[in-house]
């Protein structure tokens, strides 16, 4: 053979040896990445109206400070409670996130779910282990058919030899993910972690809304306390007036008794307000992770109803799918269930495992780590179920049914969200009219009391007319305070129903839910 022919053959063989491993590697990669089984996840569609029914029912809602979204103003900001312009509420809400125990538990659950993602993704890589050992043993000759070679003569008898075995093995195994079992499992774990993150935000939003509502109720009790204190003072003046008129012979003892009875009843109501106030204060303490005994809030009546002056964009119904953490949580649960279907389907295909073992072993410590003491083994193994009496098919049906249940749960969550927004919009709209009418009723009752007092002092009407007018005024004033508190709470519930200051962009991506 000519030198040039030899050279050409060498080059051809060299190219061939370079191409074959690359082609084999490419084939393995194709198998690993292209043979995944399981349904592709597509978010199910849900019916969303173009606008909220109650939002367009009249101008009352807009007059109350709730308006459609505008360009660059289509989201509620993160610290949504600041729309109420209450410094104390702001301080309490800022403390809540760091000290509320429900939030702490939800955060720990999220960290656990994130760690499970790392556990699932660890299966992408080979696992290696070692198990070094030094074993001293004395076998029984009877185990080997009484071989005398295991024994030596000692003083006329037999003595069994003992020996020491030194071993330093290394084992490695890897399961190529040909059918997507590991990938689908990792996806399911990632979706579960995202669902846990959304659940954490749901717990946080619920706690924030509960704190704001309890704080509003407490301030409402402070307003009632202020009202009853003023009423008790007014009733005391009426009792003094009636007593003086009785001493002057201008009134009878019946009027004095009536005035005193009304005063005592108002004092009882004044004292009763303290019960609910204490309960709301205790509830706030627990929300903040504090003992009720170590927490107190100074008395401060509810200020002018800021629900009239707040500006919170409502947006369109489709925005709700991006702004509510519970909807995001339900959607991620649905994606997790879809990935589990793929895991179940991969059971129909064989599991291939590549294993290797190597190390050193010897009965002599001095020669333990020498080259002749080496050992190794390497090879693939496959496992495939041949008959399982329909177990795998039943498992696939189970996970498909669970996926269908998750789809139904997702759609129900969306419908419930729409209902909650509509309910609160309707309540705000009607409460605005109710408060206006109630304010007019208070003003009319005040005029009626003024007229009744003048006629009583003039001797035209009995004191019973004054008592009746005072009772009507007190009831109307109580109702006005309660309606204002109710409207504030409804506005809080509306912000919660709109997702608070959360949006879907704050949900961690699949790559960002690794554990540490």
Task: Assign residue 157 the CATH number of its domain.
Answer: 2.20.200
CATH number at residue 404: 1.20.1600.10
Q: What is the pLDDT of residue 83?
A: 86
Structure tokens, 378: 């390497």
Q: What is the mean pLDDT of the chain?
A: 84
Contact 312, 65 (CB under 8 A): yes
pLDDT above 70 for 304: no
| Domain presence at residue 11 | no
Do 374 and 441 lie in one domain? The reply is no
- Of the three residues 330, 361, 383, the one that is the final residue of a domain is 383
Q: Read off the pLDDT band of 100 (50, 70, 90).
A: very high
Q: What is the pTM of this model?
A: 0.82
Reported confidence tier of residue 77, pLDDT bands at 50, 70, 90 = low
Provide mean pLDDT across the span 75-85: 79
Tell whether 101 and 224 lie within a shared domain: yes
Of the candidate ranges 165-169, 187-191, 318-322, the one whose mean pLDDT is the lowest: 318-322
- pLDDT tens, position by position, 236-268: 999 999 999 889 888 889 999 999 999 999 999
Q: Are 188 and 306 found together in one domain? A: yes
Task: Give me the DSSP letters along 193-254.
Answer: HHHHHHHHHHHHHHHHHHHHHHHHHHHHHHHHHHHHHHHHHHHHHHHHHHHHHHHTTSS-HH
Q: Is the pLDDT confidence value at 274 over 60?
A: yes
47 with 165, same domain: the answer is: no
Q: Evaluate whether 155 touches 130 at the Cβ level (below 8 Å).
A: no
Mean pLDDT of 186-201: 94
Segment 360-374, tens digit of pLDDT: 999 888 889 999 999
Please report which confidence band the pLDDT of residue 314 belongs to, taking 50, 70 and 90 as the band edges.
confident
Q: What percent of the chain has pLDDT over 90?
A: 65
pLDDT at 29 over 50: no
Last residue of a domain, one of 383, 405, 425: 383
73, 169: one domain: no
- pLDDT tens, position by position, 429-461: 899 899 999 999 999 999 999 999 999 888 888
Range of the domain at 361: 134-175+351-383
Say how many domains are in the chain. 2
What is the DSSP pairing of strand 151-154 with strand 374-383?
A: unpaired
d(CA 197, CA 191): 10
Whether residues 196 and 277 share a domain: the answer is: yes
Q: According to the model, what pLDDT value does residue 119 have? A: 94
Assess whether pLDDT exceeds 70 at residue 35. Answer: no
Q: 240 and 216, same structural domain?
A: yes
Q: How far is CA 106 from the centre of its chain?
A: 6
3-state secondary structure of 23: helix
pLDDT at 63: 39
Residue 153 burial by Cβ neighbours in a 10 Å radius (0-12, 13-18, 19+): exposed
Residue 277 within a domain: yes
Low-confidence winner among 53-62, 182-191, 333-342, 500-509 (lowest mean pLDDT) = 53-62
Q: Decide which of 111 and 70 is more confident.
A: 111
pLDDT at 59 over 80: no
Residue 283 lies in a domain: yes
Where is 421: in which H helix or E strand? helix 391-457
Are residues 154 and 99 part of one domain?
no
What integer pLDDT is reported at residue 427 of this predicted model?
92
13 located within any domain: no
Domain assignment of residue 220, yes or no: yes
The verdict on 94 and 142 lying in the same domain is no
- Name 170's Cβ contacts closer than 8 Å, sequence gap at least 6: 128, 129, 130, 357, 358, 359
Kindly state whether residue 470 falls inside one of the protein's structural domains.
Answer: yes
* DSSP helix/strand/coil, 383: strand
Q: Are strands 157-160 and 66-67 parallel, antiparallel or unpaired?
A: unpaired
Task: Examine the domain organization and report whether 38 and 150 are in the same domain.
Answer: no
Domain assignment present for residue 25? The answer is: no
Confidence at residue 149, expressed as pLDDT on a 0 to 100 scale: 52
Same domain, 282 and 297: yes
Residues 313, 434 within the same domain: yes
Cα–Cα distance between 213 and 491 in angstroms, integer? 10
> Is residue 15 included in any domain, yes or no?
no
Counting every residue written for the chain, the total comes to 516
């Amino acid at each position: 053979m000519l030198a040039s022919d030899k050279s050409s053959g060498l080059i051809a063989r060299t190219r061939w040896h370079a191409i074959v491993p690359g082609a084999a590697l490419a084939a393995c990669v194709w198998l690993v990445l292209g043979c995944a089984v399981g349904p592709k996840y597509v978010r199910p569609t849900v019916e969303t109206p173009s606008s909220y029914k109650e939002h367009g029912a009249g101008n009352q809602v807009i007059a109350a400070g709730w308006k459609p979204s505008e360009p660059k103003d289509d989201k509620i900001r993160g610290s949504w409670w600041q729309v109420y312009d209450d410094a104390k509420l702001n301080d309490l809400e800022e403390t809540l996130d760091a000290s509320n125990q429900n939030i702490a538990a939800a955060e720990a659950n999220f960290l656990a779910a994130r760690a499970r993602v790392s556990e699932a993704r660890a299966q992408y890589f080979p696992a290696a282990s070692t198990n070094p050992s030094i074993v001293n043993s004395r076998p029984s000759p009877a185990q080997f058919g009484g071989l005398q070679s295991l024994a030596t003569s000692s003083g006329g008898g037999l003595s069994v030899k003992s020996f020491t075995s030194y071993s330093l093995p290394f084992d490695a195994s890897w399961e190529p993910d040909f059918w997507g079992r590991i990938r689908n499992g990792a996806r399911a774990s990632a979706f579960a972690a995202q669902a846990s993150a959304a659940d954490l935000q749901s717990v946080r939003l619920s706690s924030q809304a509960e704190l704001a509502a309890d704080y509003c109720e407490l301030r409402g009790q402070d307003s009632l306390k202020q009202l009853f204190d003023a009423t008790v003072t007014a009733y005391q003046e009426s009792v003094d007036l009636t007593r003086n008129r009785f001493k002057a012979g201008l009134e009878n003892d019946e009027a004095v008794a009536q005035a005193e009875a009304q005063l005592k009843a108002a004092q009882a109501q004044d004292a009763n307000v303290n019960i609910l106030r204490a309960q709301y204060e205790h509830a706030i303490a627990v929300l903040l992770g504090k003992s009720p005994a170590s927490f107190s809030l100074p008395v401060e009546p509810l200020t002018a109803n800021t629900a009239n002056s707040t500006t919170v964009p409502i947006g369109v119904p489709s925005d709700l799918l991006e702004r509510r953490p519970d909807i995001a949580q339900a959607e991620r649960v649905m994606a997790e269930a879809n990935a589990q279907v793929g895991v179940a389907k991969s059971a129909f295909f064989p599991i291939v495992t590549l294993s290797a073992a190597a190390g050193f072993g010897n009965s002599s410590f001095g020669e333990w780590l020498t080259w002749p003491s080496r050992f190794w083994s390497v090879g693939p193994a496959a496992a495939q179920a041949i008959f399982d009496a329909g177990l795998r098919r039943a498992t696939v049906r189970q996970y498909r049914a669970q996926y269908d249940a998750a789809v139904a749960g997702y759609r129900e969550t969306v419908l419930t969200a729409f209902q909650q927004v509509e309910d609160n919009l309707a309540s705000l709209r009607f409460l605005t009219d109710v408060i206006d009418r109630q304010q007019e009723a208070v003003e009319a009752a005040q005029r009626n009391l003024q007229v009744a007092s003048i006629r009583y002092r003039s001797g035209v009407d009995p004191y019973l007319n004054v008592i009746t007018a005072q009772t009507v005024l007190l009831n109307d004033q109580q109702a006005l305070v309660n309606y204002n508190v109710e409207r504030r709470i409804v506005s809080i519930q509306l912000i919660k129903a709109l997702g608070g200051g959360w949006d879907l962009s704050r949900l961690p991506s699949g790559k960002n839910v690794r554990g540490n």
